[in-house]
């Protein structure tokens, strides 16, 4: 017996109206986070990861063909068509999505933010809000490819330790947490950072591996990529030991 599967296009008209669902509070989480912050200020590093989904503002690729009929603009009955005859709507435009990213990342306020699928053609302009609006003044962009990982961090929260490591679709960064209380301007002084680095209690390093693994049928390459990335973590840890 042969089983056949078919893929049907989804009509948004057949879907129920969108209604945002507020997150369910986790009992005791706020108290635990407060206790962790107060008692072990240097014992954790918060990390947020987002696949921002190419297209960015300039480079474009997306599965508009998966939606039938096309989604029209929520502010008008007309739609805008790109040179590739793909229908662009308000909710799928880069400006709309970038505003959502800015809002969500600002609310979460992680020490380190990892992006995947950023375009090098417009990276500085597309993600200028990370530094200008949200205070992520440290940044490393993967050195090659169309769909690139990028890692941002707040230097008042953590210091980059050593040079970032670029492997096959993985970007490795190592950090040391700045544990001293921020001054009135919200930044740690150079003297405080130096004291942290020289303190034996501040020797803990955090390794952030930002991955955007190979998609499709190349399973072997995906496995190799993650193994290579993890080996890079151990290699860098040995290199930085005692520093």
Residue 120 · residue 141 · CB < 8 Å: yes
Which residues are paired to 48 by β-bridges?
Answer: 113
CA 71, CA 64: separation in Å to the nearest integer?
A: 9
Rg (CA), the chain: 22
Percent of the chain with pLDDT over 70: 60
- List, as one string, the DSSP characters of 57-109: SSS----GGGBSSPPPPSS-S--EE-TT--EE-TTTSHHHHHHHHHHHHHHH-
Report whether the peptide linkage leading into residue 235 is cis, meaning its omega lies within 30 degrees of zero. Answer: no
Q: Does 237 reside within a domain? A: yes
Q: Does 33 reside within a domain? A: no
CA 149, CA 140: separation in Å to the nearest integer?
A: 9
Residue 43 has pLDDT above 70, yes or no: yes
- CATH number for the domain including 96? 3.60.10.10
Q: Does 138 reside within a domain? A: yes
Predicted local distance difference test score (pLDDT) of residue 160: 97
Total domains in the fold of the chain: 1
Q: Does 11 reside within a domain? A: no
Q: Does 20 reside within a domain? A: no
pLDDT in tens, 151-164: 999 999 999 999 99
pLDDT in tens, 202-228: 578 999 999 999 888 888 999 999 999
Residue 184 · residue 156 · CB < 8 Å: no
78, HSE (Cβ side, Cα atoms, 13 Å): 2
Residue 144: DSSP 8-state: S
pLDDT in tens, 58-95: 887 655 555 444 545 444 444 444 444 444 456 778 89
Q: Does 176 reside within a domain? A: yes
Angle in degrees, CA 137, 229, 58, rounded to 5: 50
Please give the residue range of the domain that contains residue 123.
Answer: 47-67+90-181+202-242
CA 24, CA 31: separation in Å to the nearest integer?
A: 16
CA 161, CA 108: separation in Å to the nearest integer?
A: 24
- Classify 187 in phi/psi space as left (phi over 0), alpha (psi -120 to 50) or beta: beta
Q: Does 60 reside within a domain? A: yes
- Residue 112's nearest CA partner among 49, 47, 51 is 47
Predicted local distance difference test score (pLDDT) of residue 193: 56
Q: Does 28 reside within a domain? A: no
pTM for the whole thing? 0.69
Q: Which residue has the tokens 């193994």?
A: 227
- Average the pLDDT over 15-31 and give the result: 60
CA 211, CA 208: separation in Å to the nearest integer?
A: 9
Buried b (16+ CB within 10 A) or exposed e, 18-55: eeeeeeeeeeeeeeeeeeeeeeeeeeebebeeeebebb
């Amino acid at each position: 017996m042969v089983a056949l599967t078919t893929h049907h296009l989804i009509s948004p008209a057949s879907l129920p109206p969108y209604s945002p669902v507020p997150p369910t509070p986790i009992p005791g989480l706020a108290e635990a986070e407060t206790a962790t912050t107060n008692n072990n200020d240097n014992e954790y590093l918060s990390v947020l990861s987002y696949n921002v989904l190419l297209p960015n503002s300039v480079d474009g690729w997306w599965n508009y063909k998966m939606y039938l009929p096309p989604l029209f603009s929520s502010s008008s009955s007309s739609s805008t068509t790109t040179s590739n005859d793909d229908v662009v709507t308000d909710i799928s435009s880069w400006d709309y999505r970038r505003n959502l990213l800015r809002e969500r990342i600002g609310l979460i306020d992680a020490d380190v933010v990892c992006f995947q699928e950023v375009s090098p053609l417009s990276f500085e302009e597309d993600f200028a809000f990370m530094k200008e609006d949200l205070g992520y003044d440290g940044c490393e962009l993967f050195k090659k490819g169309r769909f690139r990982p990028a890692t941002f961090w707040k230097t008042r929260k953590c210091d980059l330790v050593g040079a970032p490591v670029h492997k096959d679709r993985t970007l490795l960064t190592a950090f040391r947490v700045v544990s001293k209380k921020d001054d009135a301007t919200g930044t740690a002084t150079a003297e405080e950072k130096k004291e942290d680095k020289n303190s034996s209690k501040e020797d803990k390093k955090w390794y952030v591996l930002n991955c955007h693994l190979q998609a499709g049928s190349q399973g072997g390459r995906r496995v190799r990529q993650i193994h290579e990335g993890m080996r890079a973590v151990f290699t860098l840890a040995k290199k930085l030991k005692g520093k």
